[in-house]
Amino acid sequence: MFSQKIQNIYQLGCKELWSLWRDPVMLILIIYTFTVAIYTAATAMTDSLNMAPIAIVDEDHSTLSERITSAFYPPYFIPQSTELNYMDAGMDAGEFTFALNIPVNFQEDVLAGKAAAVQVNVDATRMSQAMTGAGYIQQIIQSEVSEYVLHNRKVSSMPVELEMRARFNPLLDQKWFGSVMEIINNVAMLSIILTGAALIREREHGTVEHLMVMPVTVFEIMMSKVWSMSLVVLIAAFTGLKLVVQLALQVPVEGNLLLFFFGALLTLFATTSMGIYLATMSKSMPQFGLLMMLILIPMEMLSGGMTPRESMPEVLQYLMLIAPTTHFVELAQAILYRNAGLNIVWPSFLWLVGIAVLFFYVAWKRFKDTIHTMT
């Protein structure tokens, strides 16, 4: 009896894989999600300062002002000399992220020891570059003024020397973070899409009724979808991690991949159950897509991948403990970034086991009721 159930689950899962193989749209989505999407997230969505347009209004036309003007160059800035009457209009039009105004008699005031001010306007709507760029501009101006006046770029001396060491990402490279986090997010997203789409496709084609007249149970139908779609996502995630993250982007991954993918498997058990549950709640594929967006976007935003959970309100911190992505992000970052072992990440694994069992039971109950209603 038990062997027959295993055989039914295996054969039904093979049917799911064959149906997926004959769906070119889904195949393209899988390939794109774990190749182009990962590379784009790692390289295009950078938080560092890169090619920021800056307008420079030099009203002094002195040696010092020219030194400051020439200090802004690519790849950090794209300098553009302009006139004072166009500076504000250019920022209003979104042409400049920064606008630097060097006033008349600036060099004379600096050499005379008088208070000299330089105006820097920052377009704060461009948050990814505004704060970083403002700090860069301040450092550049201070360095140039110090070297011109004191013939030394050292701005000030501190009684305490600060030694900063960036661990786990010593170069502070955005690619290290963006590429791995994209894989983590795509595992949850793709598993929900594939499982839910498979169930809705069967319902639209009328094959669910055919399954119910066969000697198979609702549990066997669900398990077949869970293992087949989880296998596809695991293979795609492994391929993306090896080919895109490690080979193309040259991001070192020092953690135990076997432990990471075991955590991914537990997460997939929960997210595929979510996909089945959402599919039973939906009457069509567009409705399923809308429901998935309402669930998936908050899960990814509040799981700790974009913003540390410690920075969120306490209510959200406790509420997101029920989300599998919260614990997957926690264990994935610990394993892949910090080479953590099972002795450190075991609480996350325990949470995932409980959440996966709960989600599977709720989805099984809902699927069973839906099938009985249909029959």
Which tens digits make up the pLDDT trace of 83-106? 888 888 888 888 888 999 999 998
Question: How sure is the predictor about 347, in pLDDT bands with cuts at 50, 70 and 90?
Answer: very high
Provide the pLDDT for residue 90: 87
Q: What's the angle, vertex CA 199, arms to CA 211 and CA 16, rounded to 5?
A: 70
For the chain, what is the mean pLDDT? 86
Please give the DSSP secondary-structure letter assigned to residue 284: S
The reported pTM is: 0.78
- State percent of the chain over pLDDT 90: 34
309 vs 320: CA distance, rounded Å: 9
Fold entry, domain 52-150: abc type-2 transporter like fold (3.40.1710)
Provide the pLDDT for residue 162: 67
Q: Yes or no: say if 363 and 222 are a contact pair by the CB < 8 Å rule.
A: yes
Provide the pLDDT for residue 236: 94
Structure tokens at 203: 């319902």
Average pLDDT for 330-343? 89
pLDDT tens-digit map of 131-146: 788 888 988 998 888 8
341 vs 254: CA distance, rounded Å: 12
Query: Strands 77-81, 119-122: parallel, antiparallel or unpaired by DSSP?
Result: unpaired
Provide the pLDDT for residue 156: 54
Question: How sure is the predictor about 348, in pLDDT bands with cuts at 50, 70 and 90?
Answer: very high
Provide the pLDDT for residue 234: 95
Provide the pLDDT for residue 157: 56
Q: Is the pLDDT of residue 374 over 60?
A: no
68 vs 97: CA distance, rounded Å: 18
The CATH 3.40.1710.10 portion of the chain extends over 52-150
Distance of CA 166 to the CA centre of its chain: 21
pLDDT tens-digit map of 58-77: 999 899 999 999 999 888 89
Q: Yes or no: say if 84 and 101 are a contact pair by the CB < 8 Å rule.
A: yes
